[in-house]
Structure 1
């Protein structure tokens, strides 16, 4: 009972902290992009799956503790097998398959002829270069620092690289993390679904000023 009370207290204490993330523009549970919405949906499905496993195990433990009279070993073995092996295996296996099937959809490339943004992870800031966003879709490019502006409802490719060390580009409200590796170009497709200002950060320790490597994504076009 003491452990259950401690767990309940921990959850109650953590809830205000999670709620605070939603107001910072850096919450994966307040999605503003197509990929972030899929990730948030997967998260809640995983929470439900974990709840099923927890209810099964807790129910068996409660049954074993409150059941009067002598205990049948055969019944005990079946309870352990069902609640401790079968239910977790089925639930976690289903979650794994669902997550693996979801991953290719999150990395579908944008149209190759569309505009793209080249983001380079510097020490310690983001070099943002717009390519093909001219009035007539020309090759003119605009370079900014730590700020990305995109149209709502459009899929835009981000080409990510780094000239020095490994960074990890992450805007939680819009999409998942993608590493920026020296000598290699990685791709991230963003599709904002609502307007707002959403903050991001480097999720890979990249040096002494790592905490200052932040970005701001704004969707107002």
Structure 2
């Protein structure tokens, strides 16, 4: 029996060790069960809430070529965090004669296995939705407090160690003058040239 391993992490804040750990667990499962792993498909910094993942899509496409019998994942949430996508792509794999196995979530055959797998899929989607709500709530609270919520910052402000915005005494007056010039009818190119002449650069140090 041949298999491929699909590994994924969803954020740039996560590290390569996450992928290494997933592959290690899947490889150990394969060796224990006499399965030959022929390829790894890896998506880095891609959310499982969407199926727009290049390696994932390539794996689904390759499943139709009869190159492997099994897809190994660390947990089902590596495969999908959306119940529709999960059911849809599992059906495609099944039609192609490929079985999906979560090495950390053994599922029994039969009716009980169907129930457990459905619960795991629901929990994965619930976790993703809850996490998104918490992130949005946290960012909203930070914004209301005048704190930076990420990104490269804003010309005219400085960000202190606690992520609070403060007026930059050097650039804030120039930003104010730029708005006044716009209100007086200056063209955008004239305002840009004015800021460049004053040495103002965007937060990436470009003109």
Higher strand share: 1
Higher alpha-carbon Rg = 2
Q: Which structure ranks higher in relative contact order (CA pairs < 8 Å, sequence separation ≥ 6)?
A: 1
Q: Would you say same fold, with TM above 0.5?
A: no
TM-score (norm 2): 0.30
Normalised by the size of structure 1, how large is the TM-score?
A: 0.29
Q: Which has the higher helix share?
A: 2
